[in-house]
Amino acid sequence: MRIVIVGAGAVGSYLAARLSSEGQDVVVIESDERHAARLQERVDALVIVGNGASPSSLEEAGIRKADLLIAVSNSDGANALACHTARTMGVRRTIARVEDQELRSGLQGLGVDVVIDPGEMAAREIIGLVGHSGVTDLVEFARGQLVLVGGLVRKSSPMVGKTLMELRAASKWEWVVAAVVRQGHTIVARGDTIIREHDHVLLMTTSSNLDRAIEFMGMHQQPVRRAVVVGATRLAELTADHLLEEGVDVVMIDQDGDRCRSLAEKHDRVLVLNADPTDPDVLEELGLNGKDAVIGLTGWDHINAMTCMVGKALGASTTVARFNRISYVGLLGGTGIDAAVSARLAAANAILRFVRRGRIHSVATFKDTDAEAIEIEVAAESAAVGKLLRELDFKSEAVVGGIHREGDVIVPHGGTEILARDRLILFTLPSAIHDVEQMFAD
């Protein structure tokens, strides 16, 4: 598939690296020469310096032969115009990153097939994490009947020091460990995999067993009654709105007086404090306890990290930090930061789902591994139909964590038979994605 990406910012660079690593034919158009040069050094893709909405730049990128244009620059208008121009030149499908709500209406008439709002997606992810202390990932599949939960295994967990085979033999409920991320290395789990303290484990189970899964990894759930949101960014405002809808009291802190006045005018149900969020006295005066969450959503990673660490030390049950640098996420163990969110990963999930549409119904990516979880439908004529899971050769690069079959869900084992039109939830490394798709195709 030939994919043209407009914009080499955080989202565009991430997608270029991800898709090119899977063997896709990727071309990136970036107006900033320095950004373009840096990306060219890092990815196996053609990077063009130019205007993504310009017919000449799109022509140079081979837009007439492209299957998809992804416009993810920092300008909503430029993204919409790039999609419109590309559509007139013959591209088949288009995706635009657009955050302006007014601009979003009517975009389909301009040739935009899918509109992505990273901030809104990240805000919804935060809401899912609040109240689950220690949970780093929470992704639903099979219409919410199956859930993939991620977290750093704590010393108190019964998993520590045991193989997955031993743990499954002693377990009275159904689960599958899809993967273990250890010191930046992703291990597709097998029966002889030994779990260690501080491993980042991704575990699939039914939604009814979510509480058990969280406790299994040594974590706990705690209802949150108050959330302290640090920052006056758009993401902070979106998150505050969702928290209020969930019945959570919200306090917002920012050190810019003008932004605080604007927040107070727009959010009459929010307590707005004009203060330095990095000053421990500010959080201490709030009297944080086990029913509070601290959420760092400024534009600065170090401020988000610091406020979360201070909040945890002062008694907050849950801390969530926004990170622009995804490389920081793997260093969270023992820091007091329970979970990290990234708008670019939220956007990537939605875009990858569109790229893989067809028999793939859902896609999820994660913060400290380049592997992904996909929900794929087994074609009626697939060679996998009628085989047992243990008979499928994934070459240690993929594992089936769940099956959605005619409205029911199954947490599988090696003796589970694959049937036509099953929806399999697989955790797979990038190198195996093409083979996995082919395995379950006609």
Whether residue 399 sits in one domain with residue 285: no
Final residue of a domain: which of 273, 296, 316?
A: 316
In 231-317, alpha helices (H): 234-245, 257-266, 280-284, 301-313
Whether residue 275 sits in one domain with residue 255: yes
Q: Please give the angle made by the CA atoms of 57, 62 and 67, to the nearest 5 degrees.
A: 120
Whether residue 122 sits in one domain with residue 32: no
List b or e across 290-313, with b for residues whose CB sees 16 or more CB atoms inside 10 angstroms.
ebbbbbbbbeebebbbbbbbbbbe
Whether residue 124 sits in one domain with residue 112: no
CB 213 within 8 A of CB 175: yes
Whether residue 440 sits in one domain with residue 334: yes
Q: So what's the pLDDT on residue 437?
A: 87
Please check the confidence at residue 398 and state whether its pLDDT lies above 70: yes
Lowest mean pLDDT among 125-134, 141-150, 345-354, 397-406: 345-354
The pair of structure tokens assigned to 235 is 């993401």
Q: Which of 118, 19, 47 minimizes the C-alpha distance to 76?
A: 118
Whether residue 16 sits in one domain with residue 143: no
Report yes or no on 436 lying in a domain: yes
Residues belonging to the chain = 442
Report yes or no on 216 lying in a domain: no
Angle, helix 10-21 to helix 343-355, in steps of 10 degrees = 40
Q: So what's the pLDDT on residue 101?
A: 81
Whether residue 92 sits in one domain with residue 183: no
Indicate which CATH number applies to the domain containing 8: 3.40.50.720
Q: C-alpha distances in angstroms, 79 versus 12, 82, 115, 401?
A: 12, 5, 10, 37
Final residue of a domain: which of 82, 116, 150?
A: 116
Q: So what's the pLDDT on residue 302?
A: 92
Whether residue 47 sits in one domain with residue 186: no
What band does 169 get if pLDDT is binned at 50, 70 and 90?
A: very high
Whether residue 365 sits in one domain with residue 257: no
Give me the mean pLDDT over the 170-187 stretch: 92
Report yes or no on 187 lying in a domain: yes
Whether residue 350 sits in one domain with residue 308: no
Indicate the number of domains in the chain: 3
Report yes or no on 212 lying in a domain: no
Report yes or no on 422 lying in a domain: yes
What band does 22 get if pLDDT is binned at 50, 70 and 90?
A: confident
Q: So what's the pLDDT on residue 102?
A: 81
Q: So what's the pLDDT on residue 369?
A: 81
Give me the mean pLDDT over the 383-409 stretch: 93
One DSSP character per residue, 350-404 reads: HHHHHHTTTTEEEEEE-SS-S-EEEEEEPPTT-TTTT-BGGGS--TTSEEEEEEE
CB 27 within 8 A of CB 94: no
3-state helix, strand, coil in the chain (%, to 5): 35, 30, 35
Please check the confidence at residue 279 and state whether its pLDDT lies above 60: yes
Report yes or no on 214 lying in a domain: no
Q: Where are the beta strands (DSSP E) in 59-145?
A: 68-71, 93-97, 114-116, 132-133, 135-141
What band does 325 get if pLDDT is binned at 50, 70 and 90?
A: confident
Give me the mean pLDDT over the 340-352 stretch: 81
Give me the mean pLDDT over the 369-376 stretch: 87
Distance CA 106, CA 98 (A): 12
Range of the domain at 127: 117-206+320-442
Q: So what's the pLDDT on residue 32?
A: 96
Indicate which CATH number applies to the domain containing 402: 3.30.70.1450
Please check the confidence at residue 225 and state whether its pLDDT lies above 90: yes
Please check the confidence at residue 358 and state whether its pLDDT lies above 70: no
Q: Residues 207, 339, 129, 368: is their CA dihedral positive or negative?
A: negative
Q: So what's the pLDDT on residue 357?
A: 64
> pLDDT exceeding 70 applies to what percent of the chain?
97
Whether residue 332 sits in one domain with residue 278: no
Mean pLDDT over each residue of the chain, to the nearest integer: 91
Report yes or no on 217 lying in a domain: no
Final residue of a domain: which of 283, 316, 349?
A: 316
Please check the confidence at residue 74 and state whether its pLDDT lies above 80: yes
